[in-house]
Copies of this chain bind each other. A is one copy, B any other.
Amino acid sequence: MKTIKIGIIGLGTVGTGVVKILQQNQDLIQNRLGAIIEIAKVADLDFTYDRGISLNHLPLTQDALEVINDPQIPIVVELMGGEEPAASFLLKAIQNGKHVVTANKALLSTRGEEIFKSAFERQVDIGFEGSVCGGIPIIRAIKEGLSANKITTIFGILNGTANYILTRMTEEGKGFQAVLEEAKKLGYAEADPSLDVHGTDTTHKLSILLSLVYGKKISPEDIYTEGITRIHPLDIEFAVQLGYRIKLLAIFKDENGEIEARVHPTLIPADSLLSHVKGVNNAVFIYGDAVGSTLFYGQGAGMMPTGSAVVSDLIEISRNILKGNCGTMVPFFPENKNTITVKAKNQFFSRYYLRFSAQDRPGVLSQISGILGKFNISIASVIQRGQQEDGAVPIFMLIHKAREEYVAKALQEIDALPVVLDQTMLIRIEDHLID
């Protein structure tokens, strides 16, 4: 039986998962592939800490170049994360004619174009299923399974940490900071969770999915991004009362070339499928013009789920090598010359949930609603609560569809009122998830 040698750069969580899977499912993979995948070299700077696997039979090195320059190794797996030196290693491997596999979403999101182009020119394969939604085969779904479709809508819960925090806030009524601290202790949030809770990680992933939809780079800078750090238990409680749940949602819509791409906390109907995606799970809703509504669900991160995606790429590339047919896994279509323009935030058109923090005084609601009226923003419903511990009176409001530009202007005026104590909380609503 033939053997395909692979080299791994970065033996962290995912790298360890890859080793585990290749070991525990060795027979099964051999059977499916008709060949053996052999770990020929593993590079990391630190092999001293316990990873829960035996390193005894692994050929270890502290020099990534030993992997990249090894003529025996046709596939290099980059799992070190970060931008540099990961990018240089990947590009060098590609220049050396290696096929590459990576789960590095931050890197692909910012420098994917360069990396994909380089792989395309060198006619090597690049696998990156692990870069979005861990083990959910969402990259393949867009590239292959739904390839007959014009994809016009995506709603994605793409970050497990943020979804875990929102789920526990919803189920337990706790505050953001308290749940975040517990999530850190339980290993569901990293020591520095900023990429997760500020939405950046979700934006990276959405930009990768959109590159596949359009066959060209969609920059994360063009995607409006807002995190979940300002979500208050009152917002969650009120959303639930209104029949909604709050999710950190990646949103993409293409209505006849009018393109929206944004990431922010969103009120979605409680009876939608996405509302039932709980804890660290991810889900991607995709609407295609032929297939209609589809949803892909699973664990979006972690040693074994992301490892599963990386190994599926290894199997696919190995099949291609055995068939002598590589260079088919590049996602960019050089033919696509269209310019893709994403709508600016001011142009969003949405329903909104607003929570005002007001003083407990007569006439407050009249002042607020007066300003909204001035900007032609009409109120769908309003509820005022009793005074909170901090002395403020929360006013909850749903407003009808409005252009974000006018809403922002109205809120600027409202927040400048002496009777308004804190920045007004604004959460966009998606009522029609078409699932």
A373 at the interface (CB under 8 A from B): no
A308, B276: Cβ atoms closer than 8 Å: no
A84 at the interface (CB under 8 A from B): no
Report the minimum CB–CB distance from A275 to chain B (whole Å): 9
Of residues A34, A141, A148, A314, which shows the largest number of chain B Cβ atoms within 10 Å of its Cβ? A148
Residue of B nearest to A305 (CB): B291
Report the minimum CB–CB distance from A435 to chain B (whole Å): 8
A388 at the interface (CB under 8 A from B): no
* A262-306 contacts to B (CB < 8 Å): 271, 273, 276-277, 281, 283, 288-299, 302, 304-305
B150, A146: Cβ atoms closer than 8 Å: no
Report the minimum CB–CB distance from A278 to chain B (whole Å): 9
A290, B311: Cβ atoms closer than 8 Å: yes
Interface mask (A136-160 → B, CB under 8 Å = 1, otherwise 0): 1100110011111110000000000
B297, A294: Cβ atoms closer than 8 Å: yes
In terms of DSSP, what is the predominant structure of the interface of chain A?
A: mixed
Q: A137-B146, A144-B137, A328-B323 are in contact. Are A304 and B333 (CB under 8 A)?
A: no
Contacts of A335 in B (CB 8 A): 30-31, 34
A346 at the interface (CB under 8 A from B): no
Q: A28-B150, A147-B32 are in contact. Are A295 and B298 (CB under 8 A)?
A: yes
Contacts of A327 in B (CB 8 A): 323
Q: A147-B315, A147-B316, A335-B31 are in contact. Are A25 and B292 (CB under 8 A)?
A: no
Please, how many angstroms separate the alpha-carbon atoms of A303 and B119 in the complex? 37
A328, B319: Cβ atoms closer than 8 Å: yes
Please, how many angstroms separate the alpha-carbon atoms of A293 and B327 in the complex? 31
A21 at the interface (CB under 8 A from B): yes
Report the minimum CB–CB distance from A341 to chain B (whole Å): 18
What are 12 A-B contacts with C-beta separation under 8 Å?
Answer: A25-B150, A31-B335, A135-B291, A137-B146, A140-B141, A145-B309, A147-B316, A148-B314, A276-B276, A295-B297, A319-B328, A323-B325
Contacts beyond the supplied A28-B150, A146-B312, A148-B311: 12 A-B pairs with Cβ under 8 Å: A21-B290, A29-B147, A30-B335, A135-B146, A140-B145, A145-B309, A147-B315, A273-B273, A292-B305, A293-B297, A293-B299, A297-B435
Instruction: Identify the 4 closest CB pairs spanning chains A and B, nearest first.
Output: A137-B145, A135-B291, A148-B311, A325-B325
